[in-house]
Amino acid sequence: MTLYTAAILAPDRPVGHLFELRGWTSGVSRVDDVTVKFGEVEANLHPEPCPGAPAGALGFRAVPSSWVPSGAQKVVVEGPNGETLTESPFFVGVLPGEEPLWLGELEAPKTTKVSEGRVVYVTGWALLDGRAPSLIEVMVEGGRTIRARTRLPREDVAKEFPAFDDAGVSGFEAWVPIDIEPGEERNLSIRVRYRTDGVGEHVSAKRPFLLRNPEADLDDAELADELAGDTAKAMARVHVQTDPKHLLVFTHSLGVGGGQLWLQELLTRMVKEHDWQISLVSETDGPLRADCAELGIPVHVTTHYRYQTVPGYEGHVAEMARFAKCSGAGVALVNTLGGFVGADAAKRAGLPTAWVIHESFELPTFAYQNWGPAKPPNAVWQRWVSALGEADKLIFVADATREMFLPYSKPERCQTVRYGTPMHKFKGRTRGETRRQARQTLGFSPDDFVMINLGIVESRKGNGPLISAMQRIHRIHPNAKLNIVGHHPSPYGLALEDTVERAGLEDVVKLIPVTPEPLRWIQAADLFVNSSDIESLPRSILEAVCCGVPVAATDVFGAREMITDGETGWLFETNDVDAMAAALLRALDATPARRREMAKAAYEKLEPWLDPSGYARDFSHILTELARGHHV
């Protein structure tokens, strides 16, 4: 029986990510008969004499086949039959004077390919010293610096670098609006800064590229005017008696979502408390249609709103304008920014129109994310802009969103109406017994510090960065438990599962499936965390405040209008894992009494508008005034 032995000369100081070690083995005739692994990275072996090797032993030099991640690692030598012959610990780190290891690729924009439209879409992947960077800043000439959305799924990178825990969530993306006219092209450049506190940063070389906004099609503009004229002639032939208390609503979906639930709550109160007759048009069907039926609201489900071509757009607007005029409604309400087809149709039907805009996106960014580069056609884009200017009222849920859209309308036509929540009935507190029952039902111990993140998981919700922040928090507060409520098996959701497993946080971070009843999770919480990088007025924050739960949130749009940092909660910058971790540690380090004081102060600040009957009353007044003005 052959006896195999081996030894490795492990270093007595940290090594860089690419290095080589010497060793020897006996009982084999060639180095191909043994395997050397540095952590999960297999080594390439080269026969070379090894100092101190016994007579007859075969020396080798082992070089990693790829970069080895930072931290404590183990070198293992395996014999021909896979048994471990020897193993030894060593440490990989940044050597003095070295920059942190940066692995990555800026995939778009490319120098060799023209970027089209009003927005520069930036995408790529990056690992800084083996981990996804805490902050990625995109700097495009002619545009402002944008923080990229990070921790996006990258299965391809994970396959190439299986030893790096963050490889599967190393993706990033950003949208940078550029002020460029149709028909204009501009030579620009981009640089990207990757940073992690305590590790360092990497700044990419400047990359040139060409941005071109396609020429406006004059034939499209003429066709749009011609078809709009035909619609006006058709509208002039329709004569219907209108009712100023009959409201026609255009919305994008009857599925379950923030904007849809906001509308459903509003319509319920408009019918039951203010005696409105309502008809509704939606581009997609969904479970909320049954709720409309219970309220006596007839629903017309049309096709997806048509934006892609001028004939398609004008034809769809004409159809909905005729429907609007024949409905007998005396006023229209349009829900969401993407519903501008309904806003255009309502105005062509001669209806006074209020348009509710929840989305805190600049128009070019919203268009790119929904329809792609250089979409919609310029003639349709101009109708979108015109519809914003022609709407009798633009209504927003946050002042910051209102400020964003002021250039498209007149200040007197723009109004903020914040919504409330049925959870206002809890009056800013959760009874001790209710909290104990909720925690017991959900399996929490009295010593657990329960953190709740609520909402359907998706990249803009910042769930990935939040999990990364928990890796640091757990080391300082091992009793902290994060519960992300709203998980589903999307590519992003599956990447979150993999991140939790790779980080060994299965007992620290729980991914809870989407639930229609999140109340008990809120009632069980010690801290509510909103980690989104884009929001208007997060409903979940209102619900937490109503239940007396202190809030830590990203400093974004309506969140900063609800939470004052250090007084009624804790705020942190978007898309910055270091800033998020620091803010959460501030919350965890606060005394229970201080957290209760903050929660109480938050409720007292928001209490005047938390009752949803208040915003229903405001909308009833606004729509009544619009209808009266039209019927005078």
Six-digit token string for 51 = 């100092």
Label the pairing between strands 299-301 and 277-282: parallel
> Half-sphere exposure of residue 320, counting CA atoms within 13 Å on the CB side?
35
Chain centroid to CA 606: how far? 25
Q: Per-residue pLDDT averaged across 4-12, rounded?
A: 88
Q: Per-residue pLDDT averaged across 475-479, rounded?
A: 96
Residue 97's pLDDT is 72
Q: Per-residue pLDDT averaged across 416-436, rounded?
A: 93
* Residue, of 516 and 384, whose pLDDT is higher: 384
Q: Which domain holds residue 556?
A: 422-610
- Binned at pLDDT 50, 70 and 90, residue 28 comes out as confident
Residue 176's pLDDT is 96
Among candidate residues 399, 418, 437, the one where a domain is terminated: 418
CB distance 271 to 297 below 8 Å:
yes
Q: Per-residue pLDDT averaged across 268-290, rounded?
A: 94
Instruction: Give residue-wise pLDDT tens across range 170-200.
Output: 999 999 999 999 999 999 999 999 999 988 9
- Binned at pLDDT 50, 70 and 90, residue 632 comes out as very low
For 475, phi and psi rounded to 5 degrees? -65, -30
Average pLDDT, the chain: 92
Judging by beta carbons within 10 Å of its beta carbon (0-12, 13-18, 19+), is residue 436 exposed, middle or buried? middle
3-state DSSP assignment of residue 434: helix
Amino acid at 52: G
**Same domain, yes or no, for 390 and 467?**
no
**Same domain, yes or no, for 137 and 259?**
no
Instruction: Give residue-wise pLDDT tens across range 281-293.
Output: 999 999 999 999 9
Query: Contacts from 585-590 at CB under 8 Å and sequence distance 24+?
Result: 585/473, 585/476, 585/477, 587/527, 587/550, 587/552, 588/449, 588/473, 588/476, 588/477, 588/480, 588/527
Residue 99's pLDDT is 83
**Looking at the predicted structure, is the pLDDT value of residue 516 above 80?**
no
**Same domain, yes or no, for 409 and 273?**
yes
**Looking at the predicted structure, is the pLDDT value of residue 581 above 50?**
yes
In a domain, 224, yes or no: no
**Same domain, yes or no, for 370 and 477?**
no
In a domain, 622, yes or no: no
In a domain, 219, yes or no: no
Residue 2's pLDDT is 65
Instruction: Give residue-wise pLDDT tens across range 568-580.
Output: 999 999 999 999 9
**Same domain, yes or no, for 185 and 53?**
no
**Same domain, yes or no, for 44 and 115?**
no
- Measure the CA–CA gap between 562 and 569, rounded to whole angstroms: 9
Six-digit token string for 257 = 């979502």
Q: Per-residue pLDDT averaged across 131-158, rounded?
A: 94
Q: Please, what is the Cα angle at 249 between 247 and 255, to 5 degrees?
A: 140
**Same domain, yes or no, for 153 and 50?**
no
For 199, phi and psi rounded to 5 degrees? -115, -45
Tell me the residue ranges of DSSP E strands in 33-117.
35-38, 41-47, 58-64, 71-78, 84-92, 102-108, 115-116
**Looking at the predicted structure, is the pLDDT value of residue 631 above 60?**
no
Instruction: Give residue-wise pLDDT tens across range 546-562.
Output: 999 999 999 988 898 99
**Same domain, yes or no, for 260 and 406?**
yes
Q: At what angle do helices 378-390 and 340-348 cross, to 10 degrees?
A: 70
In a domain, 218, yes or no: no
**Same domain, yes or no, for 291 and 402?**
yes
3-state DSSP assignment of residue 302: coil
In a domain, 585, yes or no: yes
- Measure the CA–CA gap between 341 and 183, rounded to whole angstroms: 25
> Half-sphere exposure of residue 34, counting CA atoms within 13 Å on the CB side?
32
**Same domain, yes or no, for 486 and 350?**
no
> Half-sphere exposure of residue 481, counting CA atoms within 13 Å on the CB side?
22
Indicate which CATH number applies to the domain containing 45: 2.60.40.10
Six-digit token string for 477 = 């507060």
Q: Per-residue pLDDT averaged across 244-273, rounded?
A: 91
The residue among 23, 37, 62, 13 whose CA lies nearest residue 162 is: 37
Instruction: Give residue-wise pLDDT tens across range 583-601.
Output: 999 999 999 999 999 999 9
In a domain, 616, yes or no: no
Residue 71's pLDDT is 85
Six-digit token string for 170 = 């190393």
Q: Per-residue pLDDT averaged across 22-48, rounded?
A: 91
CA-CA-CA-CA torsion sign (336, 339, 342, 348): positive
Placement of tokens 């099609």 in the chain:
217
In a domain, 564, yes or no: yes
pTM of the model as a whole: 0.89
Among candidate residues 418, 444, 474, the one where a domain is terminated: 418
For 528, phi and psi rounded to 5 degrees? -100, 135
CB distance 60 to 48 below 8 Å:
yes
3-state DSSP assignment of residue 533: coil
CB distance 40 to 163 below 8 Å:
yes
Residue 630's pLDDT is 65
Among candidate residues 92, 115, 136, the one where a domain is terminated: 92
**Looking at the predicted structure, is the pLDDT value of residue 256 above 80?**
no
For the chain, the straight-line distance linking the first and the last C-alpha, in angstroms and rounded, comes to 105
Instruction: Give residue-wise pLDDT tens across range 75-134.
Output: 999 998 889 999 999 888 877 777 888 999 999 999 999 999 999 999 999 999 889 999
Residue 15's pLDDT is 86
- Binned at pLDDT 50, 70 and 90, residue 306 comes out as confident
Judging by beta carbons within 10 Å of its beta carbon (0-12, 13-18, 19+), is residue 1 exposed, middle or buried? exposed
Partners of residue 625 on adjacent β-strands:
none
Indicate which CATH number applies to the domain containing 413: 3.40.50.2000
**Same domain, yes or no, for 246 and 336?**
yes
Domain count, the chain: 4
| DSSP conformational letter for 204 | P
> How many residues can be counted in the chain?
632
Residue 443's pLDDT is 94
The residue among 39, 558, 623, 105 whose CA lies nearest residue 353 is: 623
**Same domain, yes or no, for 411 and 447?**
no
- Measure the CA–CA gap between 150 and 466, rounded to whole angstroms: 11
Amino acid at 537: L
Judging by beta carbons within 10 Å of its beta carbon (0-12, 13-18, 19+), is residue 504 exposed, middle or buried? exposed
